A and B are shown apart, each in its own frame.
Chain A
Amino acid sequence: MVTETKTNTFIDEIYDIPGGESIRLCIQCGTCTASCPNADRMEHTPSQLIAMARADMREEVLSSNAMWYCLSCYMCTVRCPRGIKFTDLMHALEYLSIQAGLVHAKTLTPTMYRLFNHYCSMGNLSELWFMTRFYLQTNPLRAWRMIPVALNMLKRGRLSIRSRKLTRAGSNQLQVILDKAESLGGAK
């Protein structure tokens, strides 16, 4: 009698995330890579990422810069002959990368996403404060270089110093929902 020991591989981990299950359908045709506007910037192309995930290269995949270059343009998703929701898969890899504390050191996108989510969770994204905080936090010199763009936008009334606020009741309700969600521990 053969005893099966269930080992939880990286592909199982991805499979468990909503949108991740389609990873098993990949035939390595490369259509995703050919359709991606940023594939040439990625350490590993989209189709390579899938091959690596299947080879259980968890750390290499999650510490890669590849998914952080995903623009969410969904071109790979609509062209995939196997119906893999590749953009969603990229988001799932980003999520796992943050969870595992393996985010690529050189890309600023994870920091930007975290700040973005911080503002969204309060109910409203204030463009001015979000961008100012991001530039100051990551590269104050760039904040300096962005001043002409920002001034132009301010002059044309496109950046508001005041940010939109939910009512107290609405804001409390949102907080209760998000606190509850946090206690439920992830989407899977």
Chain B
Amino acid sequence: MKYYTYFPGCSCSSEGGAKAYNWSMQAVSKVLDFELVELEDWNCCGSTPSGSVDELGAFCLAGRDLAVAEKRGLDMVTPCSACYVIFNRTNSYLKQYPKLKAKVDEALTAGDLKYHGTVKVRHMLDIITTDVGYDAIKSKVKKNLSGLKVAPYYGCQIVRPGFGFDHPESPQSLDKLISSLGAEPTPFPLKTRCCGGSLIISEEALALELTQKLLESASSNGAECLVTVCPLCQTNLDAYQSRVNRKFKTNYRLPVLFFSQLMGIAFGIDGKTLGLNTNIVSPNAVLDRIYNPISYTTTHQIVS
């Protein structure tokens, strides 16, 4: 059994909007025989906005979590792309800027903490595809996903600015993961373009345009659903899909799954455990042929 320090982040916490990502990840980790041990008493990483408001404060927010995690000596893994960038950026800035480090050290010392800069922070997709590996995943697949067309959406911050995991503009890990689950990754030219991020709140019109382009790219390439690796991307594509349809007079009905939900489906885990009922665009119609293969085959044959 392999152990990791687990940093869910606010969105994937039990009170967050992406709790299904957390639930499905936990369920998948049991099948793949690794354990996610939640960091005790963690605080928000500060995400992107904090640094623009209070630069030093933002490094200290991330610094406290890293200092607490360091005591365990394990890799820290997070399912959130924003947390992933913030912690890695904090690590590299503390190494690169001694004056900044001295200040962060002084602040942490006031809270009886010390950070030596040794915590390796990784994204959940990296753990799944690098540490577990595609063959091990393949061996756990129980449901037949063949023919299911899935658009692999990486978004920005898992691959950029780039902390050693996959290509910044043309990544392949999620595509290969989808294949190893037996489903079919669709071509998705916009797979690393931005969904609008947190500007969906302050500049909604602009963010909806970006989201619309993604949905159009996925849909025109034949995708039946999208998978994401980030709680914010999922929210923008899923919860705001009705706003996109209204604004652009479109009619997208593309379920947006967390990649761990798709894994859970392939592993035969029930929908409730994976939190499929929390998805705003219901995946039920798309998943019907997987959960009820016999009735699907029959109707399908009659139709064809």
Q: Which residues of A contact B (CB under 8 A)?
A: 17-19, 37-38, 41, 69, 71-75, 77-78, 85, 87-88, 91-92, 94-95, 98, 107-109, 111-114, 116-117, 119-121, 123-127, 131, 134, 138, 142, 148-149, 152-153, 156-160, 162-164, 166-167, 169-170, 173-174, 176-182, 184-188
> Residue of A at shortest CB range from B97?
A18
| With A41-B206, A157-B19, A177-B60 as contacts: A95 and B52 at CB distance below 8 Å | yes
Interface segment among B103-111, B138-146, B254-262: the answer is B103-111
Number of A-B residue pairs at CB separation under 8 A:
219
Given A153-B280, A177-B107, A75-B64 contact (CB < 8 Å): no
Q: Is B33 an interface residue (CB 8 A)?
A: no
Which one, A69, A91, A95, A177, contacts B206 given CB within 8 A?
A69
Partner of B93 from the list A19, A75, A87, A119 (CB cut-off 8 Å) is A19
Contact A181 B239 (CB under 8 A): no
User: Measured between C-beta atoms, what is the minimum distance from A77 to chain B in Å?
Assistant: 5
Q: Is the CB of B56 within 8 A of A181?
A: yes
Complex-state Cα separation, A88 to B93, whole angstroms: 11
A119 to B46, CA, bound (A): 9
Q: Footprint of A on B, CB under 8 Å?
A: 10-11, 13-19, 41-61, 63-64, 85, 89, 93, 96-97, 99-100, 103-104, 106-108, 110-113, 156-157, 160-162, 168-169, 193-194, 196-199, 201-204, 206, 210, 235, 239-240, 242-243, 277-280
A8 to B70, CA, bound (A): 40
- A121–B93 Cα distance when bound, in Å, is 20
- In Å, the complex CA distance between A163 and B225 comes to 31
Q: Are A117 and B64 in contact (CB under 8 A)?
A: no
Set of chain B residues within 8 Å of A162, measured between Cβ atoms: 15
Chain B residues whose CB sits within 8 angstroms of the CB of A92 once the complex forms = 55
Would A95 and B44 count as touching, CB distance under 8 A?
no
Residues of B within 8 A of A94 (CB): 52
